[in-house]
Amino acid sequence: MTREPPSLYEWAGGTEALDRLTTAFYREVVRDELLEPLFGRMDPDHPAHVARWLGEVFGGPASYTEQRGGYPHMLRQHVGRSITEPQRRRWVNLLMDAADEVGLPGDPEFRAAFASYVEWGSRLALTNSQPGAEPPPAAPVPRWGWGVAPPYDG
């Protein structure tokens, strides 16, 4: 009998790990001269909301959808923000640094899947934030998995 691999959410360490990640990440974001204009006035609960989003995307509970409204709410957070490519890239780099800092799993399979979502999601946010962008107003929360290389559990 073949056992299904754990979700990315489970492999990462669940809600607790994602809360550590977003807390460390947004601590740096508000100190960053390139990102502070986008995040300097964020709601103090923003890191927890993003942790719930990531948890849902990575196969955990649908907390973001239940508490915040899912994709339509996330979309509204980006529309009209005019995110620049340097801001997107800095956001990605700081998130990857925070993953290291808080000890998210460092195995290549997890990090490849994590980085894949971070790249995809941040590029979508960049596109959706531009003047005149017309993203679909309703879509499901994406579900991210292992891709082609689930974890080796020898």
- The superfamily (CATH) of domain 9-128 is Globins (1.10.490.10)
The answer to whether residues 9 and 59 touch, using CB atoms and an 8 Å cutoff, is yes
pLDDT in tens, 70-104: 988 888 888 889 999 999 999 999 999 999 999 99
What average pLDDT score do residues 36-63 get? Answer: 95
**What pTM value is reported for the model?**
0.92
Tell me the domain boundaries of the chain: 9-128
pLDDT one-digit tens code per residue, 113-153: 999 999 999 999 999 999 999 988 888 899 999 985 455 55
Residues 74-105 as b or e (16 or more Cβ within 10 Å = b): bbebbeeeebeeebbebbbebbbebbeebebb
Structure tokens at 76: 């509204």
pLDDT score at 57: 96
Spacing of C-alpha 131 from chain mean position: 23
